[in-house]
Structure 1
C-alpha cells in the first residue's frame, strides 16, 4: 500500500499597527514600536489518507470562538476538517490583543484581521507542499527553565485577593527575595522538536517545543515575538536554510515556569531583547547538535484524535458577589496600582464578569499522530508537572503544545490550587474546578493511546 508523504510550511506576517492594544499585563498598553515582526506559521502534512495542519501564532492567547471561526474558514477553503487543525499561541506578552484579559480589552480591529492571516498561512503552506521526510528529536536544556512559585519564610504573607486569606506560596517574589526558602516545583527541561525536509534534501521546517513561559525583556508598548521568534530566526541562519524554510517554537507546559532567577546567581546580557536573543540562539544550537543523527521517516502515517471535554468551573458565591459589588462601588479602577488594594479591586471585577460564564466549560483536547511520534494539544496554561506526568512511561517521541485551540486559562493541579499563588486566583483566566487538571491529563493520555486501542 502506497503512502506518499508530503509537507509544506509558510509564514505570514501578523504584526499589528501602531496604537494596537497589547495583551500580557494587568492594565492596557498600546503599541508604540515594532522591535521585530510577528507571524502566523503554518506546517501541513499530507499523505494518501489524511491532511494535518499545525499553526503557531505569535500572540498571547486566542479563544475558542476565534479559532473555531478560523478553522471553519480553513475547512471551507482547503477541505481540512477542524479536528485535523491545531492552532496555538506562543504566549509572547508583546503582541496584539485579540481576547479580554484582566483590565486589557481585545483590540477588535486586530481581532478581525487574524482569522484571515492564519488562513492565508495555511493556504501558502499547502502551496509549498512537496514529497518530504520527518524526524523527531529532543535534548534536555535545564538552564533556562525555573519554577516561579516559591515557598516563603513565615514572616512573609501573601493575601489572596479573592478569598482574603493568606496563600502558602508566592508567585514571582519581586522585592522579597530575602524571604525565599526554595522553588516549589521542578521544571520540564526537555527541548523537543519535529524536523521536516524534502526528499530533495531541502529544509522545510523545524517545530520546537519548550516549557518556558516567555522571556519578556522588552519595554511596555513594544511588539516582539520574544524568544520564540529569536529561536526561529536563529535556526534558519544556522542551518543555512533557504528562504522557504520556516522555524517554529511552540509553548509547552509552562504555566508555573519562567526565566526569572530570584537567587541572583544566573547572569544574562542586558539590553532590549538581549536575553531573548541569547536563549533563542542557544536553543537553536542545541537542536542543531542532534540534527545529523536523526532517524528520518519517509512514509509516516497521519491521524488526529480530537475530543471536547466538559469541565466544571469554580464560580463565585452570592456572598462573594455582594462583597465584590461593595468593593467596586468605591471606584478606583481607572487608577489601579499593583498592590493589595489594587488586586482586590481587579479581582472583584473578575468575579462579576466570571459570574456571567456558563458553569461548565467545553474544552478541546487533541493529539496528532505523526509517524512514530505524537503531539498533544491542551487549551490553556498547564504546569510543568502535567507535562512531565503525561510523558511518564511513553516509549515514543512526544511533546505537549499548550495554549492550543482555545484558552481556558491556568489549569493547575489540585494540590497547587490549595497552595494559592497568582495562577490559582479565581478569575476569567483561572476558574476550572480543582479536579480539572487530572481530567485533562487522563483524556489526553486516552487520545495518545487511541491508535493502540482501535
Structure 2
C-alpha cells in the first residue's frame, strides 16, 4: 500500500474506492483465505501476507470489525406519559368521561430497537398504548421515515394494547386527543433517532418458552347457547413466549425483545381505570431491565385477541384487578422469560429482510338503510359494549348511505414480515388477532422460531376465526366499534394462509 495511508478501510482491498466495495468486503468468508494464498505466486508472498492479515481481521466470524457484514443494533426508550386530564382509551367508560386521566400510577413508554446489516435497516418500536389507528400509524411512520430515510415497510409499530393509557386510535367513536398525538409523534421520532445513533456490533440469540399468563375469555354458555365474556381455563390460548437476546462484542446481554399474547386490561370499571399505567407489560419490562442491569427490554404484543390475564381470579366474570395483581402478572412474565435466557439458544445468522402485504378480508352484507334505522331506534349490544355508542355508529352508516356513498365490503389489513435470519422471523398483523390465527402463522413455518404479532401498524378490528363467526361473542360482534358496516365473513384462515405463503415466497422464510 506504499505510504499513501494506512490500510484502515476495506476499500483498499478492492483496488479502488468504488461504492460496491463495502458490499463485497462484507461477503468475504474465512475459508477464502487459504484459497487466495494458493493462487498467489510465491514471489509476491510478502504482499499476499499483508492482504491475508487484513482478511483474517475483518472477515472472520469472531471478528468485531465494523464492516457491513456486522449486525449493528441500537436501543432507546422515551417516556410518553401524558399530563393529568388527557383523554384515555381502553374501556367503554372512557366514552362519556370528560375529566381524562386522574392520576399517574406508573409511566407509559415507547421503546425502540434499530437494526442495520449490509446496508439494510429496520426499526421496531413498542408502545404502552391501546392501539393506533391506520392513519395514526401512517402519520408516525411518515415522520420517522423522513428523519431516518426509512420506508414504511422498514418500520414496525406495535402497541401493547394497554387499557389504561392515553387515547389513540378511532375505536368507539372517541374524539382524538390531538395535543397528545402531537407530543407522541415528536417523541417517537426522538426515540427512533436515539436508537439509530446508539448502534453497536451485536449477536442475536433466539429462544422460545411458554407462559402461564394468558387465559381464554370466550366461555360457552350451555343455557343460552351464546359465548360469554368470562374466564375459560379450558379454552385455547397462544401459550408461546418467543424472544431474542442481544449480546454485545463482549458477550454481555444488552437487549431482549419478547412477546406475550394476553390483554393488558386488568384494571377495569373502577376509579383506578382512570389512572395512567402500562399494566403488566410495563412491570415485565422494568424487571427485565433490572436483570440486564440496563435499559434494554422491548415488549411486543402477540395474538391476544381473546385472552386476558390468568393472574386476576374469576369464575363467571373477570373482576376488576388490583395493582398488586398487575405487578404479579408482570413478575410472572419476567420470571418465565429470564429463566429461559440461559437455555440453549439459537444464534441467528443475520439476514435482514422486510416485506409488507395488504390483505382484504370480506365482510358479510350490511343491513342497509332500514337496518341501520332500526339500530338507531333500538341499539342492542353485547354486554361488554354500550348501546349509546352503537346508535352513533348506526347514524354514521346511515348518513354515508343517504349522502350517496357506498359502504365498504372488505377490510384492508396489513401483514408485515421481517426476516432476521433463517432461525427467526416476525409476522405482524394489523388487528386484534386471536390465538388460533397466531398458531396458524407459527405452524406455517417448519423450522426456526416465529413471533406472530397483533396490534401492529394500526388496528383495524378484532380478527376472529370462521368458527368464532358462527359462535358469535364479543370478538365477532364488536366490528361496529371499529366503524365497520358489517361483521367479517368466514374464510379468513385461507386468506391468512395465502398471505403467509406469499411472504415466504418473497423472502420471509
- What TM-score does the superposition give when structure 1 sets the normalisation length? 0.85
Deviation at 1:338, TM superposition (A): 9.1
Residues 357-385 of structure 1: per-residue CA shift (max 9 Å, x gap): 64333321101100221011000101111
Q: Choose the corresponding residue for 2:226, options 160, 168, 184.
A: 168
Deviation at 1:184, TM superposition (A): 7.1
Find the counterpart in structure 2 of residue 349 from structure 1: 392
Deviation at 1:294, TM superposition (A): 4.3
Which structure: larger Rg?
Answer: 2
- Three-state SS of the structure 2 residue aligned to 1:404 is coil
Q: For 1:303 and 1:128, locate their aligned partners in 2 and report how far apart those are by CA, in whole Å.
A: 21
Distance 1:184 1:168, change over 3 A: farther
Matched-pair contact (CA < 8 Å) for 1:365–1:443: no
Matched-pair contact (CA < 8 Å) for 1:413–1:434: no
1:98 lines up with 2:178 in the alignment: no
- Three-state SS of the structure 2 residue aligned to 1:232 is helix
1:389 lines up with 2:458 in the alignment: no
- Three-state SS of the structure 2 residue aligned to 1:206 is strand
1:5 lines up with 2:71 in the alignment: yes
Q: Choose the corresponding residue for 1:150, options 219, 224, 247.
A: 219
More helix by share: 2
Structure ranking higher on relative contact order (CA contacts 8 Å, 6+ apart): 1
- 5+ residue gaps, structure 2, are 1-26, 29-68, 401-406
Find the counterpart in structure 1 of residue 282 from structure 2: 229
Q: For 1:150 and 1:212, locate their aligned partners in 2 and report how far apart those are by CA, in whole Å.
A: 16
Distance 1:303 1:453, change over 3 A: closer
Find the counterpart in structure 2 of residue 118 from structure 1: 188
Matched-pair contact (CA < 8 Å) for 2:84–2:103: yes
- Three-state SS of the structure 1 residue aligned to 2:418 is strand
Deviation at 1:152, TM superposition (A): 1.1
Find the counterpart in structure 1 of residue 18 from structure 2: none
Deviation at 1:27, TM superposition (A): 3.0
Find the counterpart in structure 2 of residue 75 from structure 1: 145
Q: For 2:469 and 2:492, locate their aligned partners in 1 and report how far apart those are by CA, in whole Å.
A: 10
Q: For 1:184 and 1:288, locate their aligned partners in 2 and report how far apart those are by CA, in whole Å.
A: 27
Distance 1:280 1:327, change over 3 A: same
Distance 1:103 1:366, change over 3 A: closer
1:438 lines up with 2:493 in the alignment: yes
- Three-state SS of the structure 1 residue aligned to 2:469 is helix
Find the counterpart in structure 2 of residue 204 from structure 1: 254
Find the counterpart in structure 2 of residue 418 from structure 1: 470
Distance 1:27 1:220, change over 3 A: same
How large is the RMSD of aligned CA atoms in angstroms?
A: 2.8
Deviation at 1:60, TM superposition (A): 0.4
Bigger shift: 254-263 or 89-98? 254-263
Q: For 2:110 and 2:317, locate their aligned partners in 1 and report how far apart those are by CA, in whole Å.
A: 36
Q: For 2:161 and 2:230, locate their aligned partners in 1 and report how far apart those are by CA, in whole Å.
A: 18
Find the counterpart in structure 2 of residue 362 from structure 1: 412
- 5+ residue gaps, structure 1, are 158-166, 174-181, 329-335
Find the counterpart in structure 1 of residue 369 from structure 2: 318
- What TM-score does the superposition give when structure 2 sets the normalisation length? 0.76
- Three-state SS of the structure 1 residue aligned to 2:414 is strand
1:191 lines up with 2:244 in the alignment: no
Find the counterpart in structure 1 of residue 301 from structure 2: 251
